[in-house]
Amino acid sequence: MFAGGRLTPATPKAVRHLVSALHDPALGAGDHTIRPGVLFLLREIARVTADAEEVRHHAAVDGNVQDWLAGHLAHPSPPAVHEWSDGDGPGRVLLHNAVVDSFGLLPQVFAAVWPIPAAWPARTRVMAAAATAMLVRHPELADRRPEVIAYHQETARHTADRHDCAGLVLGLGELGVAPRDWLDDSRLAVRTCAALAPALADDAEATEVLLRAAEHPRAFDHSFTEPFVAPAYRVMCPPQLQEGPHRVLIRTVCERVGDFGRLFHAALAAADLRGFDSFAVESGPYLRRAFPAGLVEDGTATGEQIAFAEALASRDELWKAGNTRAAEAFAAAGLPHDRERWRSVRSPVVLDSAGRPTYEGLRLVSIPPVRLVRESTRRFFSANRTDPDLMSKLLSALSSRGDAVAVEGPRQFSMTVRTDDVPELDVDELVRHGLFGPDRIYGLGLAALLSLWVSVYRRHAGIEYRQQFVDGMPAGPIERLGPADHDDGYRFVFELDPDWLPRGARLPA
What tens-digit pLDDT sequence spans the chain (509 residues)?
666 677 888 899 999 999 999 999 999 888 889 999 999 999 999 998 887 776 666 656 666 667 766 776 677 777 676 666 545 566 667 777 888 889 999 999 999 999 999 999 999 999 999 999 999 999 999 999 999 999 999 999 999 999 999 999 999 999 999 999 999 999 999 999 999 999 999 999 999 999 999 999 999 999 998 887 776 666 688 999 988 899 999 999 999 999 999 999 999 999 888 654 456 567 889 999 999 999 999 888 988 999 999 989 988 888 888 888 888 889 999 999 999 999 999 877 777 777 777 766 556 667 778 888 888 888 888 888 888 888 888 888 777 666 688 999 999 999 888 766 555 777 887 787 765 555 556 778 888 889 999 999 998 888 999 999 999 899 999 999 999 887 888 899 999 998 888 888 889 87
Instruction: Give the Cα separation of 90 and 87 in Å (integer).
Output: 9
Domain assignment present for residue 218? The answer is no
Instruction: Give the Cα separation of 72 and 12 in Å (integer).
Output: 20
| DSSP assignment letter at 132 | H
Among residues 127, 158, 189, the one where a domain terminates is 158
Q: Interior CA angle at 260 toward 258 and 266, to 5°?
A: 110
pLDDT value of residue 114: 97
The verdict on 383 and 481 lying in the same domain is yes
The residues facing 457 across adjacent strands are 466, 491
Among residues 158, 192, 209, the one where a domain terminates is 158
Domain assignment present for residue 501? The answer is no
Residue pair 180/194 in contact by the 8 Å Cβ criterion: yes
Instruction: Give the Cα separation of 174 and 464 in Å (integer).
Output: 39
- Chain-centre distance for alpha carbon 90: 40
Among residues 98, 127, 158, the one where a domain terminates is 158
The verdict on 346 and 444 lying in the same domain is no
In the chain, count H helices and then E strands: 24, 11
What secondary structure, in 3-state letters, does 143-156 show?
A: HHHHHHHHHHHHHH
Q: Interior CA angle at 358 toward 353 and 359, to 5°?
A: 145
- Chain-centre distance for alpha carbon 60: 41
The verdict on 489 and 374 lying in the same domain is yes
The verdict on 339 and 415 lying in the same domain is no
SS3 161: coil
**What are the distances in angstroms from CA 259 to CA 23, 291, 295, 331?**
51, 11, 16, 21
Domain assignment present for residue 486? The answer is yes
Closest CA to 502 of 365, 409, 346, 387: 387
The verdict on 412 and 293 lying in the same domain is no
Closest CA to 10 of 98, 135, 118, 127: 98
The range of the structural domain enclosing residue 45 comes to 2-158
Domain assignment present for residue 364? The answer is no
The verdict on 439 and 463 lying in the same domain is yes
The verdict on 389 and 266 lying in the same domain is no
**127: CB partners within 8 A, 6+ apart:** 36, 39, 40, 43, 167, 239
The verdict on 20 and 118 lying in the same domain is yes
Domain assignment present for residue 170? The answer is no
The verdict on 354 and 375 lying in the same domain is no
Instruction: Give the Cα separation of 235 and 130 in Å (integer).
Output: 18
pLDDT value of residue 354: 78
The verdict on 136 and 80 lying in the same domain is yes
Residue pair 436/442 in contact by the 8 Å Cβ criterion: yes
| H or E segment and range at residue 209 | helix 204-214
The verdict on 324 and 461 lying in the same domain is no
The verdict on 409 and 470 lying in the same domain is yes
Domain assignment present for residue 287? The answer is yes
Domain assignment present for residue 172? The answer is no
Domain assignment present for residue 77? The answer is yes
Instruction: Give the Cα separation of 397 and 383 in Å (integer).
Output: 12
CATH code for position 419: 3.30.565.10
**What are the distances in angstroms from CA 392 to CA 242, 286, 398, 481?**
38, 37, 10, 32
Structural domains in the chain (count) = 3
